[in-house]
């Protein structure tokens, strides 16, 4: 089943078209990576899929009418409630979503993001990795069907990145569909079931990582990325 299906999506800001006819879907249960060059139109596409921005053309079908209540979105900078601890932030976000969490559930959430020892630490004092993990916990506090994470592991050291991967894989095991954007091809190849590669407002490739490597005779995702994004934005793409 597809949670979201988009056909012929287009978006223009003033005279400049930044999404140029995109067909894509988000399949239930998958870990989907959205990758592409800076300014390729990834964030704009996400905003269109989420109904945050109106489309200029195209059709989007979503799995339920009240989909907004069943999506968790973590943008690059997740604002926590300043002056509150990790645990208090979880409680505050739960209250925002009208989710009642008892002590056991809070403990489970803290364990999920490996923040038991930091529960009484002010969110602003948490390390970068801890903050990213808390952000994911907050994003999933209302048990959404779909979560969207914008560069969830950027700027983290290898161990902290591994923890984020572990969390994402655990979410997928719990039947949460995950769409994340990344510029780190190694991270993508480790966890994504499927990849969508965007360049200059278009999808230039999509599919399972192993199949894509085979199809384009590429050694790794970095090479594939470099090959398929080797055109100047605005000019016609090679493929
Ligand atoms: N609200 C807006 N008004 C005008 N131009 C915009 C607006 N939002 C995005 N753009 C432009 O649209 C293009 C695509 O931007 P978008 O943020 O979707 O790219 P991206 O692929 O997410 O990039 P990055 O990887 O750098 O985050 C960029 O050139 C950007 O400057």
Two tokens, residue 148: 């969207």
| pLDDT of res. 186 | 87
The residues lining ligand 1, judged by C-beta closer than 6 Å to any ligand atom, are 13, 18, 36, 38-44
Ligand 1 center–CA 36 separation, angstroms: 12
Q: How far apart, in whole angstroms, are the C-alpha atoms of residue 152 and residue 76?
A: 7
The pTM of the full predicted model, rounded to 2 decimals, is 0.92
| pLDDT of res. 216 | 94
| pLDDT of res. 234 | 59
Question: Average pLDDT for residues 90-95, to the nearest whole number?
Answer: 94
Ligand 1 center–CA 43 separation, angstroms: 7
- For the domain spanning 26-55+144-230, the CATH number is 3.40.50.300
With the most atoms of ligand 1 within 8 angstroms of its CB, the residue from 12, 16, 41 to mutate is 41
Q: pLDDT of 166-224, one tens digit each?
A: 999 999 999 999 999 999 998 999 999 999 999 999 999 999 999 999 999 999 999 99
Question: Average pLDDT for residues 60-86, to the nearest whole number?
Answer: 90
CA dihedral 90, 91, 96, 99 (to 10 degrees): 100
Mean pLDDT of the chain: 92
Q: Is the pLDDT of residue 78 over 90?
A: no
| pLDDT of res. 233 | 65
Q: Pinpoint the alpha helices (H) of the chain.
A: 42-49, 86-96, 103-112, 128-139, 158-173, 185-191, 209-215, 221-228
Ligand 1 center–CA 44 separation, angstroms: 6
């Amino acid at each position: 089943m597809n949670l979201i299906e988009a056909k012929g999506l287009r978006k223009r800001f003033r005279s400049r078209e930044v999404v140029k006819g995109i067909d894509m879907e988000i399949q239930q249960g998958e870990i989907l990576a959205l990758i592409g060059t800076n300014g390729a139109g990834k964030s704009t596409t996400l905003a269109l899929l989420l109904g945050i921005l109106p489309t200029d053309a195209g059709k989007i079908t979503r799995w339920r009418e009240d989909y907004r209540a069943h999506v968790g979105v973590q943008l690059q900078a997740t604002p926590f409630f300043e002056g509150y601890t990790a645990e208090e932030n979880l409680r505050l976000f739960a209250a925002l979503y009208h989710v009642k969490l008892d002590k056991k559930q809070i403990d489970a959430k803290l364990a999920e993001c490996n923040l038991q020892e930091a529960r009484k630490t002010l969110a602003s004092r948490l390390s970068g990795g801890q903050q990213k993990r808390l952000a994911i916990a907050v994003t999933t506090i209302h048990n959404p069907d779909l979560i969207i994470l914008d560069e969830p592991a950027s700027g983290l050291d290898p161990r902290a990145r591994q923890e984020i991967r572990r969390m994402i894989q655990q979410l997928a095991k719990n039947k949460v569909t995950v769409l994340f954007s990344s510029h780190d091809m190694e991270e993508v190849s480790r966890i994504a079931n499927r990849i969508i590669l965007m360049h200059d407002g278009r999808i230039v490739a999509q599919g399972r990582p192993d199949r894509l490597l085979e199809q384009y005779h590429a050694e790794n995702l970095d090479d594939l990325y470099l090959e398929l994004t080797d055109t100047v934005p605005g000019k016609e793409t090679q493929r």
